[in-house]
Amino acid sequence: MQIDRRLPFLALLLFLILQGCTTTTKVTPPEALELAAEIRLQIELMVESGDYAGAAGLLESSAKQSNSPMREWLMLEAAEYWLKAGDQAMSLTLVEQLQPSDSDSDFNLKLRMLRTEIAVLEGDIEQALDLMEPPPGPDAPLVLRQHYHRNMAEIFRLSGNLLESARELDVLDLLLESDIEARLASQQLLVQTLATMTDTALALLQPQPPATLIGWMELAKVIKLQISDPTELSSQFAIWRDRFPQHPALQELLASYLEQRGLSSEDHIAILLPRSGPYAKVAAAVRDGFMAAWYQQPATQRPILQFYDSSELKNTLPIYQQAILQGAKMIVGPLNKDAVKMLLSLELLDHPILALNQVDDPDLTHPNLFQFGLAPEDEAHQVAERAWLEGHRTALILTPSGQWGQRLAESFRDRWEALGGQVMEQQRYNPKENDFSVPIRMLLNINESEARIHALKKLMGRSLESETRARRDADFIFLGARAQKGRQLRPQLKFFHAGGIPILSTSHIYTGVAQAEMDRDLGNISFVDTPWLLEESQGGPLSRNNLEKLIPGVKGRYARLYAMGIDSYNLLTQLQQLQTQPGRLFSGKSGTLYLDNRNRLHRLLAWADMERGLASISGYAPRLAQPSTNLQPTINPSQSESLPIERKGLPPITDHDLSRPGGPR
Q: Output the pLDDT for position 462.
A: 57
The 3-class secondary structure across 157-223, one letter per residue, is HHCCCHHHHHHHHHHHHHHCCCCHHHHHHHHHHHHHHHHCCCHHHHHHCCCCCCHHHHHHHHHHHHH
* CB within 8 Å of 86: residues ≥ 6 apart: 1, 2
Q: Output the pLDDT for position 384.
A: 92
Of 158-167, 312-321, 369-378, 454-463, the poorest mean pLDDT is in 454-463
Contact 520, 635 (CB under 8 A): no
Beta strand pairing status for 369-371 and 353-355? parallel
Q: Which of 356, 353, 389, 361 is nearest to 375 (CA)?
A: 356
pLDDT band at 57 (very low <50, low <70, confident <90, very high): very high
Contact 269, 304 (CB under 8 A): yes
Q: Which of 274, 340, 356 is nearest to 601 (CA)?
A: 356
DSSP string computed for 442-502: HHTTHHHHHHHHHHHHHHHTS---------SS-SEEEE---HHHHHHHHHHHIIIIITTS-
Instruction: Give the span between the Cα atoms of 433 and 429, in whole angstroms.
Output: 8
Q: Output the pLDDT for position 455.
A: 52
Q: Residue 12: pLDDT above 70?
A: no
Q: Please return the burial class of 597, using the count of CB atoms within 10 Å of its CB with bins 0-12, 13-18 and 19+.
A: middle
Contact 419, 633 (CB under 8 A): yes
Beta strand pairing status for 330-332 and 369-371? unpaired
Please give the helix or strand (H or E) that residue 425 lies within, else none.
strand 422-429
Angle separating helix axes 142-158 and 162-175, nearest 10 degrees: 160
User: Which ranges of 225-279 would DSSP assign to H, the alpha helix?
Assistant: 230-243, 251-258
- The helix/strand count (H/E) of the chain reads as 28, 15
- Each residue of 228-272: pLDDT tens digit? 777 888 999 999 999 999 999 999 999 988 877 678 889 999 999
Report the CATH architecture of 1-134.
Alpha Horseshoe (1.25)
- Each residue of 518-572: pLDDT tens digit? 999 998 899 999 989 888 777 678 989 899 988 988 988 899 999 999 999 999 9
Give the rounded distance of the alpha carbon of 339 from its chain centre. Answer: 27
Q: Output the pLDDT for position 662.
A: 34
| Positions of CATH 1.25.40 in the chain | 1-134, 159-224+229-257
Rg of the chain in Å (alpha carbons)? 27
pLDDT band at 2 (very low <50, low <70, confident <90, very high): very low
Q: Residue 25: pLDDT above 80?
A: no
- Each residue of 448-491: pLDDT tens digit? 545 554 554 555 555 545 455 667 889 999 999 999 999 999 99
Q: Residue 221: pLDDT above 60?
A: yes
Q: Residue 319: pLDDT above 90?
A: yes
Quick one: fold of 159-224+229-257? Answer: 1.25.40
Mean pLDDT (the chain) is: 82
Instruction: Give the span between the Cα atoms of 560 and 659, in whole angstroms.
Output: 13
